[in-house]
A and B are shown apart, each in its own frame.
Chain A
Amino acid sequence: MRPKIRLSAAVVAALVASVLTACGGSGGSSDPGSATSGTINWWGWTPTDTATAQNYISAFNKQYPNIKVNYKLVNISDWVAALRPALASGKGPDVFDMQPGAYVTQFKSFAEDQTSLAQQALGSDWKSKVAPIGISGLTADGKLTAMSVGAVYAGMLWINGNLFKQYNLQPPKTLDEWKQVCQAFKSHNVGCFVQGAAQEGFDQDTLQSIANSVQPGLWTKASTGDAKWNDPGIVKTLEIWKDLFTGGIMQPGAVGYQQYPDSNNDFLTGKYAMVMMGTWYTQYATTKAMTAALSAAGVSGAKPFPILPIAFPDVAGAGNSSEMYGDADFGLAISTKSKSRAAAETFVKWMTTTTAGQQVIADQLNDLPALKSVTPDFDSIQLVDPASQKSPVQDLVTKVGNVTEPREALLSADVQTAILAAATSVATGKASPQDAANTLQQAAEAAGETFK
């Protein structure tokens, strides 16, 4: 029985090799194959629906008709579990999504260095042509593990324009104003602010924004070890965080909510007037996306309303404007074990460095394109209420082009877990802000973060 199994394994391996190798290649892993024909497998958690991915691929095929791209959608919650064995075995994807932070650390040894690819495509001054936030987040050990496709930024709020207008309220600019707005909404039985406080990512955004209001740049410093997590500024951040809960801003039971679908649906169905989302939410400013989202939230026949971006209020009252921060949403990495490397490089180049590729990305309004020269084509995009939305949205897009502060790229998974523990323990009253900050500092040290 044994020899039969070995034989069929060899047959299967040979078949796989011949399928993945481009025409006439020797089949060995050192042969990159042809740059204009072949088949590549692309695994990603985003684009989050295959239809969008197919759009990108068809646009790509207009220029390179002989490269077949197979997109496999793997939900982000299963990403690590699925990709680890796949990459390790060599039977995995040729091109795969890469996100700054924990994923770069995990998968960097399987990603090709794409510095030369960037230079070939954009010239030796390529760094000035792409958003800086996309480079730093995806670089590890001196190697550019992936080319950024687009970035997302956070540190702002989105409000329901209609609800604010209906009750004659102005977007809050300070913590007190925020509390007043919330009380006003409450008196009309409308929810004020909704957040999926059970989840690390979104709590982290809120905390980072509060910290930026307390002391700009402190959060980043703590992330790199240049400041401690129990710095008085962080303690103050946690105190203000607690105030959001006790002061009636956060919705009741917030620590049991998840952002998707709970908070998202509550905001879109008009139950709450404010939500903390980032630039990826811009897509819901369009009629098409909002209508689809409303139907997805279970509302039939609802009319879309305009969502407006507003700056995060100056909750610390120190006069600082809370700056935004961001990361590459995802980049495309090329597997070191790929047998169609040249074709993979063509695809990655097209998606990340050509105007054609980046424009398709930009017009989705989900990511802001990595290539600086490309902006969304607002003339062809249909907003729900252009009169109130066009100006703020365009301002937003321009503003974020200069953001350099990272969002999650610097935090290891362990520190992120500790941040969530700090946030929820303060929110539920189980720990005081000072104690929570001390615990967070200890956890960060235990996780290996070194502090000056």
Chain B
Amino acid sequence: MFDIRGRTGKVVLQVIGTVLIVPYLFPLVVMVKGAFAGEGVKNFSAVLSVPGFGRFFLNSIIISAAVIALVYAVTMMAAFGFAKLHIRFREVYFWLLLACLTLPEVVLLAPLFATDTRLGLYDTYWAVILPLSALQVPFAVLLTRNFINGLPNELFEAARVDGANSLRGFIHLVIPLTRPIAAAVIVFTLVAAWNDYLMPLVFLQNPQLQTITLVPQFFVGEFSNDQTKILASAVITAIPEVVAYLSLQRLFERGLSAGAIK
């Protein structure tokens, strides 16, 4: 998109980019080196052969998928509402929503536990899905509202003039045009849900429901700490997230093209 003409420009930018990326690469190299230390590739097979690994992986997928779906649906609707529709005391509601972001997770454990048991959700997927979604929504709404604000009002008014109500405007305008930010929201929600450690630990008792974040625990003890396996499990855990990021990459590329306006 930003076409740099001229070779010097290109080279300068390439050099800058490479120099800037080195500090980010350095710890990664150290970490991967650590994952292969000791027993080498056997570290990875040791991680994969942790009893129940397949099950944990599946549970993480289920929970993350549910959180993403819930967060996406709720966020898109709310961001659309905040950005383009009329709401009395709109900003008050917005700050109410934002306040949910401010409590540290550890402080929420006890009240969430009480709520879960009262609703009979303890030791079910919902005990983890609902709080994770609730914590992600304000963050996602903040970002998406901002993005939708950037969409020209004319589009919506034109649609309204054509007789479409808000719902159709939503489906045919908002959803397609917010692909870049939706992709970002999905990736971040995935990372938050996939990596969450505290909620599955406290709210899931049944080993059949445990998630993949539990796997490093198998290698950490009070008086022992198997770094190599822990790092290997970190690499394995990270792979699905990076794959998701790369697959959604192309969605970042879409923008306000003339075709969309038509």
Touch between chains A and B, by CB atoms below 8 Å = yes
User: Which residues of A line the B interface, CB within 8 A?
Assistant: 5, 8-13, 41, 45-50, 70, 72-76, 78, 81-82, 84-86, 88-89, 91, 260-261, 264-265, 280-281, 293-300, 366
Q: Which of A86, A88, A298 contacts B228 (CB 8 A)?
A: A298
C-alpha spacing A295/B38, complex, angstroms:
5
Q: List 18 A-B contacts (CB under 8 A).
A: A9-B119, A10-B120, A12-B120, A46-B222, A48-B224, A72-B205, A74-B201, A84-B110, A85-B109, A261-B225, A264-B224, A294-B38, A295-B39, A296-B38, A296-B224, A297-B227, A298-B227, A300-B38
Inter-chain contact A78/B201, CB cutoff 8 Å? yes
Which of A10, A11, A91 touches B117 (beta carbons < 8 Å)?
A91
- The interface stretch among B147-155, B169-177, B213-221 is B213-221
Chain B interface size, as a band, is 35 or more
Cα separation A366 to B113 with both chains bound (whole Å): 34
Instruction: Report Cα–Cα, A11/B119, bound state, in Å.
Output: 11
Q: Which B-chain residue is minimally distant from A258 (CB atoms)?
A: B225
Chain A: minimal CB distance from B112 (Å): 8
Interface residues of B (CB under 8 A from A): 34, 37-40, 51, 106, 109-110, 113-114, 117-120, 122-123, 198, 201-202, 205, 207, 217-229
Q: Which A residues are CB-close (under 8 A) to B113?
A: 85-86, 88-89
In the complex, how many angstroms separate the beta carbon of A98 from the nearest chain B beta carbon? 14
Interface residue from A12, A78, A82, A260 paired with B223 (Cβ < 8 Å): A260
Q: In whole Å, how far is A276's beta carbon from the nearest beta carbon of chain B?
A: 13
Q: How far is the CA of A78 from the CA of B220 in the complex (A)?
A: 12
A299 to B202, CA, bound (A): 35
Which residue of B has the minimal Cβ distance to A6? B120
Which A-chain residue is minimally distant from B111 (CB atoms)? A85
Asked whether A50 lies within 8 Å of B224 as measured between CB atoms, the reply is no
In the assembled complex, the CB of A120 is this many whole angstroms from the nearest CB of chain B, namely 30
In the bound complex, do residue B120 and residue A75 qualify as a contact, i.e. CB atoms below 8 Å apart? Answer: no
Contact with B106, one of A81, A88, A91 (Cβ below 8 angstroms): A81
Nearest B residue to A366, CB-CB: B223
Cα–Cα distance between A13 and B219 once the two chains are bound (Å): 34
**Complex: A294 Cα to B201 Cα, angstroms:** 29
Most buried by A among B109, B114, B122, B123: B122
Say yes or no: A91 contacts B227, CB within 8 Å: no
Query: Contacts A72-B205, A82-B202, A89-B117: A300 and B109 contacting too (C-beta < 8 A)?
Result: no
Interface centre among A11, A45, A261 (most CB of B within 10 A): A261
Residues in chain B near residue A81, CB distance under 8 A:
106, 109, 198, 202
Assess the B228–A295 pair: CB atoms within 8 A.
Answer: yes
Measured CA separation A82–B203 after assembly (Å):
8
A41-B205, A46-B222 known; A265 and B37 CB under 8 Å?
no
Alpha-carbon gap, A13 to B205, bound state (A): 15
Specify which chain B residues have a CB less than 8 angstroms from the CB of A85 in the assembled complex. Answer: 109-110, 113-114, 202
Chain A residues with Cβ under 8 A from B229's Cβ?
296
Residues of B within 8 A of A74 (CB): 201
Minimum CB distance partner of A299 in chain B: B38
Residues of the A chain whose Cβ atoms lie less than 8 Å from the Cβ of B123: 91
Please name all residues of chain A whose beta carbon is closer than 8 Å to the beta carbon of B118 when the two chains form the complex. 9
Q: Which residue of A lies closest to B118 (CB)?
A: A9
Given contacts A11-B120, A50-B218, contact A260 B225 (CB under 8 A): yes
Task: Look across to chain B and name the residue whose beta carbon is closest to the beta carbon of A92.
Answer: B205
Determine the residue in chain B with the shortest Cβ distance to A5. B119
In contact, A300 and B201 (Cβ under 8 angstroms): no
B109 to chain A: which residues have CB within 8 Å? 81, 84-85
Given contacts A9-B120, A50-B218, A75-B220, contact A86 B202 (CB under 8 A): yes
Listed residue (B38, B123, B201, B222) with the most chain A CB atoms within 10 angstroms of its CB: B222
B224 and A260 contact, CB distance less than 8 A: yes
Does B120 contact A300, Cβ atoms closer than 8 Å?
Answer: no
Taking the closest CB of chain B, its distance from the CB of A131, in whole angstroms, is: 19
A8 and B221 form a contact (CB under 8 A): no
User: Does A5 contact B122, Cβ atoms closer than 8 Å?
Assistant: no
Q: Do the beta carbons of B198 and A89 come within 8 Å of each other?
A: no
Structural contact, B217 and A73, CB atoms closer than 8 A? yes
Query: Hey, which chain B residues are within 8 Å of A89, CB to CB?
Result: 113-114, 117, 122
B202 nearest in chain A by CB position: A82
Q: How far is it, in angstroms, between the C-alpha of A264 and the C-alpha of B227 when the chains are bound? A: 11
Q: Is the CB of B37 within 8 A of A299?
A: yes
- Of the residues B120, B201, B227, contact of A265 by C-beta under 8 Å: B227
Q: In the assembled complex, how far is the CB of residue B132 from the closest CB belonging to chain A, in whole angstroms? A: 17
Inter-chain contacts of B217 with A (CB < 8 A):
73, 75
Which residues on the B side are within 8 Å of A10 (C-beta)? 120
